[in-house]
A and B are shown apart, each in its own frame.
Chain A
Amino acid sequence: MLRRLFWPEAFDLLEGYAEKPARKMRVYAALSLLSVVLLSSVPYIAGTFINGLVKVSSDQNDIDLAFVMDTGAVVVLIITFWYVTTSSIQKEMVLQSLALTRKIREDLGDKLMTVSIGDVEAIRSGEMSAKLSGDLPAVGNLLSKDFVEFFSGNVMIVMILVAMVFVSPALALVYIVTIPSTLIAARILTRMSERDFLTRKETMDAISSGMGDIIANHRTIKINNLEDVMMDRFEESNRQFVRATVQSESRSGLMVPLASVASNFGYVATVLAGAVMMFDMTLDLGMFLAFMVYVRLVNKPLAQSASAYDNIKSETMSLKRMLSILNMPDEEEKDLEDGPDLRGSVEFEDVRFSYSPGKEALRGVSFTVEEGEVAVIAGPTGSGKTTLLNLLMRFYVPDSGTVRIGGRDVSGISRRDLSRTVAAVLQDPWVFDGTIRENIVYNRKWVTQEDLDAALAITGFEGYVNSLPDGLETRVGDDVRILPLAQRRMLAMARAVLGDPKILVLDEAFSGLDPLTESAVFEGLRRIMAGRTVLIVSHERVMADCADKVIRLESGRTVRLTRGSTCRRCC
């Protein structure tokens, strides 16, 4: 309990994550202690000074100017020392906090790319945005601002109390008696507000994801004239947020006024007691003055600590939310070695998989596709075709059974090797904000213009690109400047072909294309299919004609494996 006054819970959490800032903090805490001790002696010096003057003036002596100057110089020095230590501590803390938030930011980016696909896709739109603009700066403030304020505030309070006792034990007793009652009240209030902070953050998330929803479904909303409905829905979460905040603020917001009430009662009590003591001649003017300055001075750290404590509470929540993402398990061990070039065969052996417990998407799938074969994976919606590819691309790991590429278990192949061997055109190709060239080349910087031209020609994307005034440099995007589906597919195919993969995976890559475009794209693909293993996932029967092999899935099971020319009849 006492430890918590100087070492908030958040730092225990931080120590687990980043040791350095937490360790440094101990050093700086000690330094600030020294400067605060010095600073709190200033009113005492001033009091002695006044007493000296009063004595001098009552003795009708002349003022010793040198004494005045000396006292002034000492005080100025103390203040300067305080400023220098405080600001250097603050600077260090700011730098620490910048380094920490930077680390978190980078880890966050890194994390999003290493956690399993299921975890990423469960992140609701808008959630990341709230984390970035709300939680991250909050964690930064924790180090750069609130911890320093909380710590130095508490040290200051303790030091002032010590100084008070030193100046006049009787007065100090009177003052201190007024404090605990308010502290207890404050403690109860913060207990309650902790829960409120949580609801507040949650409702904020609801607001953000509501907004994300609206932006993502702009067209659907407009076409159904749902503006009002969506506004109502948003208003509901908006209202909830206000309600939660009012609740938490009406409790925690009382902290600061309460602290001031505490010090004001202390003030009244001291003034009265002091006046009585002066009347009894048990206290002189200088010490009374010093004490009154202490009473005034304690106000600020009291309010400061109270509000910093409050902030630390909510910032700890933010930190926890951040850590919950940062501590998500990685999908794979990072230290997989790159191996020799893989062959292009694909093998599934009694593979079972379920996305959520109890609902098996694959219930024992077995098949082999030899290198250079073209296989069609057919089956109705929901039969597990896409799941099959998810496992092949190692987006998910099978519950039991093995997936092999080139005879090696997929789970032992490094991501780099895997991505060089397998290229996929997924159902809904992703086009990011950037030029068409950037979208096709992506991370393969070594690609030449000839390679690019060849890929464009082969996929039939050439014609469309040439019809654009800016050609390959045309900017395209995900929200705006959206390419038509057919063109997105072609782009994705060009992207896949460019890497010269041994295995090409096409997930419903032809649906939504008109028959003419489809056959044009297919003609191109036929040219590049030579010598590669090709897996075509399709609910269309039409693709079966040119396959060496048809794998038919029904509710997560391989129901039929047909070979070569026979498939024309069976499908």
Chain B
Amino acid sequence: MSRSTGRTLGFYLRPYSWEILVIVTFQAIGVVMQVLAIGMLRPILDSSVEGYGVEYILDEGVILLGMTIAFAVFVSLASRMSSQLSLSVSSDMRRDVLASSLKVQRLDSVGDMGSFSMTCLTSDVQEVQEHVFKSFSTYLALPFLATAMVACTYMINATVGVMVIMAMISVILITYLLSRRTYEAYAEKIVSLDNLNTMFKEEVKGARMIRAFGGKDHEMEKYLRASNTYGSCTKRIALNSYYLPSFSMAFVWIFVVMVYMIAALGLSSHVIRPTHLVLFMQFTTCIISSLALVPYICLSIPRARVSMRRIGGVSGLHESPVPNTERAEDPCDLRASGTRFEDGFGRVMLDGLDLEIPRGTVATVTGANGCGLTELVDIVTAFSLPTSGSVSVCGMDVGSSDPRDIRRAVSYAGRQSGVFSGTIRFNLDPAGACDDDSILEMCRRTGFIDYVELSEGGLDAKVYSAMMSGGQVQLMALTRCLLRDAEMYVLDDCLFSMDEATRRKAVRAVLDVRRGRTVFFASHEMDTVEVSDVVFLMKDGRIVDSGTHERLMSCSGAYYEMYSRSSGGIVC
């Protein structure tokens, strides 16, 4: 259903081509300044050795100083801009990763994205950001600098120039070949990091169970397995790369010594002048300090590439295009005809379901667990599509409409409602559509006001998932649902954690504030069937009976069995 366009780093850099151009220019100017500064050494040395006089030396010194300052200014500017650039790119990436994980409309395509996008956001983006920064602030100048230096050396003495070129090529080649060994391990490492992330999440979420079952050793065993895989990948990378920087340094140094041996022989045969030797030394030490970066580049490029591929995979994700929603006039807000649905395990959960809920009615669909009710609600809220047959919600066909349009028409509260870490106000009215008075008024009606008033700061109090009880979360979800002005309220078994008095008040609130709109309870609570205009009894993926609570109690055996127990309690 979803496919990826595989965004590349180039895609993210494109909007900043102007900035990049400026950085490149600055870096180039910086290089020119640096080369000229070394070149200035020659006339200064000449003036000194040939004895032209101190005033010449000082004049040339002023020019040298100017160049050095210019160099520093341009390099600092380039570095500053690179930092900005890398940050902008990384923030764009983060936004895209998040946007595309939000873009997934159907539940079956969410897949295992949870910890994957998490690692993507924290680790991968960081990696790429660092790479971009280093590339533009440091690495970029490297080829310029090397070329300029080599050209200068070559112009002074061709033989020495060629040798320096050879040294450069061999050090780059050797480092590249050696660093290749870490590539594979790096890709593995990221995957094991995902696993480790999942383990951490489980340790936090399953904290109670782990303790209750004394499962620490068991969990530790599992955790250590994940941790060791990660550790061995890190170890492989580290052991294959730690020596690279000093190795290439030593290599270049030895090579340079060789070059000087030969140059020295040239000096004695008067092919090379002593001042040239000083210049060579300056150029080569400059080249060496740039070459010292090569191992770092060789190590960081593959990392950045792996991370970028992962980011690209997530951020380019998009669903197949959704057709424009066509809305038909329909006196029923919910209409299912011949609907079939097979769940992920291949079991038939809806088997030719026919259901009509006319506009403005309060309806309950009820049935034993596993009758297909959950699946029906998933389709009504456009999280799943029927395998065959059709479902239309407020005149929109679920299969051929934009899910967002359906969700605009429907307000939902369900058993899986979560808590956003943030203020109570945000949790109740995330869209920011209501003023405090109407929020508080709604809280008073549903009874959530008790919680709000007990919290320090009222609506501004910060909440997070672990601090609220099941009943409080459900009540908050219901309040949020009712605050929205929708055409149909879908209340999916969202009252069961409340005690009786709270629940009764909540149901009352639904009826009072529904503004004449349709209410669809998917539940088996006594309180909801009693207040419904019509109750549908579901069994094995089909509606088997319908009518008012009173009618069903007297006519339907199965229904009577359910609710006689419910009212009387479990008979021992």
Q: Is the CB of A480 within 8 A of B470?
A: no
**Cα(A413)–Cα(B253), bound, Å:** 67
Q: Which residues of chain B in 253-291 are interfacial with respect to chain A, using CB atoms and an 8 Å cutoff?
A: 253-254, 257-258, 260-261, 264-265, 267-268, 270, 274-275, 277-278, 281-282, 285-286, 289
Which chain B residues border A362 with CB–CB below 8 Å? Answer: none
**Cα(A122)–Cα(B467), bound, Å:** 8
Q: Which residues of chain A in 62-107 are interfacial with respect to chain B, using CB atoms and an 8 Å cutoff?
A: 62-63, 68-69, 72, 75-76, 79-80, 82-83, 86-87, 90-91, 93-94, 97-98, 101-102, 105-106
Q: Is the CB of B214 within 8 A of A539?
A: no
**Cα(A401)–Cα(B336), bound, Å:** 59
Q: Is the CB of B565 within 8 A of A515?
A: yes
Which chain A residues border B415 with CB–CB below 8 Å? Answer: 485, 512
**Cα(A50)–Cα(B111), bound, Å:** 69
Q: Is the CB of B95 within 8 A of A231?
A: yes
A447 interface residue (CB < 8 Å to B)? no
Q: Say how far A341's CB is from chain B's closest CB, in angstroms.
A: 15
A176 interface residue (CB < 8 Å to B)? no
Closest A residue to B410 by beta carbon equals: A223
B126 interface residue (CB < 8 Å to A)? yes
Q: Is the CB of B404 within 8 A of A117?
A: no
> Which of B70-78, B163-171, B173-181, B388-396 has 4 or more CB atoms under 8 Å from chain A?
B70-78
Which chain A residues border B265 with CB–CB below 8 Å? Answer: 63, 68
CB-contact partner of A220 in B117, B227, B417, under 8 A = B417
Q: Is the CB of A514 within 8 A of B71?
A: no
**Cα(A516)–Cα(B224), bound, Å:** 43
Q: Is the CB of B261 within 8 A of A272?
A: no
Q: Is the CB of B205 within 8 A of A478?
A: yes
A367 interface residue (CB < 8 Å to B)? no
Which chain B residues border A257 with CB–CB below 8 Å? Answer: 72, 75-76, 79
CB-contact partner of B247 in A83, A469, A544, under 8 A = A83
Closest B residue to A219 by beta carbon equals: B416
Which chain B residues border A272 with CB–CB below 8 Å? Answer: 44, 57-58, 61, 64
Q: Is the CB of A285 within 8 A of B274?
A: yes
Q: Is the CB of B91 within 8 A of A242?
A: yes
Q: Is the CB of A241 within 8 A of B368?
A: no
Q: Which of B47, B282, B561 has the most CB of A within 10 A?
A: B282
Asked if A98 meets B369 with Cβ closer than 8 Å, knowing A113-B219, A215-B118, A279-B54, the reply is no
Q: How would residues 370 to 414 of chain B score, 1 for a CB under 8 Å from any chain A CB and 0 otherwise? A: 100010000001010000000000000000000110011011101
Q: Is the CB of B197 within 8 A of A271?
A: no
Which chain A residues border B98 with CB–CB below 8 Å? Answer: 211, 214, 231, 234
Q: Is the CB of B501 within 8 A of A380?
A: yes
Q: Which residues of chain B in 411-439 are interfacial with respect to chain A, using CB atoms and an 8 Å cutoff?
A: 411-412, 414-422, 430-432
Q: How would residues 252 to 284 of chain A score, 1 for a CB under 8 Å from any chain B CB and 0 otherwise? A: 011011101100110110011011101100000
Closest A residue to B82 by beta carbon equals: A253
Closest A residue to B121 by beta carbon equals: A211
Closest B residue to A300 by beta carbon equals: B289
**Cα(A539)–Cα(B469), bound, Å:** 13
Q: Interface extent on B, as a size class?
A: 35 or more
Which chain A residues border B72 with CB–CB below 8 Å? Answer: 257, 260-261, 264
Which chain A residues border B432 with CB–CB below 8 Å? Answer: 229
Which chain B residues border A275 with CB–CB below 8 Å? Answer: 44-45, 47-48, 57, 61
Q: How would residues 215 to 259 of chain B score, 1 for a CB under 8 Å from any chain A CB and 0 otherwise? A: 111111001100100110011001100110011011001100110
Asked if A516 meets B562 with Cβ closer than 8 Å, knowing A79-B250, A395-B208, the reply is yes
Asked if A515 meets B563 with Cβ closer than 8 Å, knowing A122-B466, A253-B79, the reply is yes
CB-contact partner of A114 in B216, B421, B484, under 8 A = B216
Which chain B residues border A134 with CB–CB below 8 Å? Answer: 122-123, 126
The interface residues of chain B, by DSSP majority, are classed as helix
The interface residues of chain A, by DSSP majority, are classed as helix
Closest A residue to B198 by beta carbon equals: A433
CB-contact partner of A241 in B91, B117, B466, B524, under 8 A = B91
B212 interface residue (CB < 8 Å to A)? yes
Q: Which residues of chain A in 209-230 are interfacial with respect to chain B, using CB atoms and an 8 Å cutoff?
A: 209, 211-227, 229-230
Which chain A residues border B403 with CB–CB below 8 Å? Answer: 222
Q: Is the CB of A112 within 8 A of B207?
A: yes
Q: Is the CB of A82 within 8 A of B250?
A: yes
**Cα(A299)–Cα(B75), bound, Å:** 15
Which chain A residues border B417 with CB–CB below 8 Å? Answer: 219-220
Q: Which of B107, B207, B470 has the most CB of A within 10 A?
A: B207
**Cα(A248)–Cα(B101), bound, Å:** 30
Q: Is the CB of B242 within 8 A of A91?
A: yes
Asked if A300 meets B565 with Cβ closer than 8 Å, knowing A113-B219, A221-B102, A433-B202, the reply is no
Q: Is the CB of A208 within 8 A of B122?
A: yes
Which chain A residues border B551 with CB–CB below 8 Å? Answer: none
Closest B residue to A98 by beta carbon equals: B235
Q: Which of A86, A222, A250 has the most CB of B within 10 A?
A: A222
Closest B residue to A420 by beta carbon equals: B214
Q: Say how far A114's CB is from chain B's closest CB, in angstroms.
A: 7
B119 interface residue (CB < 8 Å to A)? yes
Q: Say how far B237's CB is from chain A's closest CB, in angstroms.
A: 10
CB-contact partner of B278 in A120, A242, A288, under 8 A = A288
A179 interface residue (CB < 8 Å to B)? no
**Cα(A98)–Cα(B242), bound, Å:** 12
> Which of B7-15, B319-327, B491-499 has 4 or more CB atoms under 8 Å from chain A?
B491-499
Which chain A residues border B408 with CB–CB below 8 Å? Answer: 225
Q: Which of A90, A91, A227, A272 has the most CB of B within 10 A?
A: A272
> Which of B153-161, B339-347, B354-362 has 4 or more CB atoms under 8 Å from chain A?
B339-347
Q: Which residues of chain B in 29-75 are interfacial with respect to chain A, using CB atoms and an 8 Å cutoff?
A: 37, 40-41, 44-45, 47-49, 51, 53-54, 57-58, 61, 64-65, 68, 71-72, 75
Q: Is the CB of A546 within 8 A of B572?
A: yes
Q: Say how far A242's CB is from chain B's closest CB, in angstroms.
A: 5
**Cα(A292)–Cα(B498), bound, Å:** 81
Q: Which residues of chain B in 550-565 are interfacial with respect to chain A, using CB atoms and an 8 Å cutoff?
A: 561-563, 565
CB-contact partner of A91 in B243, B257, B464, under 8 A = B243
Which chain A residues border B419 with CB–CB below 8 Å? Answer: 217
A139 interface residue (CB < 8 Å to B)? no
Which chain B residues border A125 with CB–CB below 8 Å? Answer: 201, 204, 421, 465
Q: Which residues of chain B in 537-572 are interfacial with respect to chain A, using CB atoms and an 8 Å cutoff?
A: 561-563, 565-566, 568-572
B485 interface residue (CB < 8 Å to A)? no
Which chain B residues border A540 with CB–CB below 8 Å? Answer: 500, 569
**Cα(A544)–Cα(B500), bound, Å:** 14
Which chain B residues border A101 with CB–CB below 8 Å? Answer: 231, 234
Q: Is the CB of A541 within 8 A of B268?
A: no
Which chain A residues border B420 with CB–CB below 8 Å? Answer: 213, 217, 220
Q: Is the CB of B282 within 8 A of A109?
A: no
**Cα(A256)–Cα(B430), bound, Å:** 45
Which chain A residues border B414 with CB–CB below 8 Å? Answer: 219, 223
Q: Which residues of chain A in 472-488 are interfacial with respect to chain B, using CB atoms and an 8 Å cutoff?
A: 474, 478-481, 484-487
A464 interface residue (CB < 8 Å to B)? yes
Q: Is the CB of A50 within 8 A of B122?
A: no
B2 interface residue (CB < 8 Å to A)? no
B187 interface residue (CB < 8 Å to A)? no
Q: Is the CB of B204 within 8 A of A123?
A: yes
Q: Is the CB of A121 within 8 A of B257?
A: no
Q: Say how far A56's CB is from chain B's closest CB, in angstroms.
A: 6
30 A-B contacts (beta carbon < 8 Å): A42-B253, A46-B281, A98-B234, A105-B227, A106-B223, A110-B220, A112-B200, A113-B219, A129-B197, A207-B94, A213-B420, A214-B101, A219-B416, A220-B420, A222-B407, A231-B98, A272-B64, A274-B48, A275-B45, A285-B274, A381-B471, A393-B212, A423-B212, A429-B209, A430-B209, A464-B370, A469-B347, A474-B345, A516-B562, A543-B569
Other CB < 8 Å A-B pairs besides A130-B122, A542-B570, 16 of them? A87-B242, A98-B231, A133-B122, A134-B123, A208-B118, A224-B411, A230-B430, A296-B285, A415-B216, A418-B214, A426-B208, A443-B219, A478-B202, A512-B415, A522-B570, A542-B568
In the A-B complex, the 7 residue pairs with the smallest Cβ-Cβ separation, listed nearest first, are: A419-B214, A542-B569, A443-B218, A546-B572, A539-B499, A83-B250, A133-B123
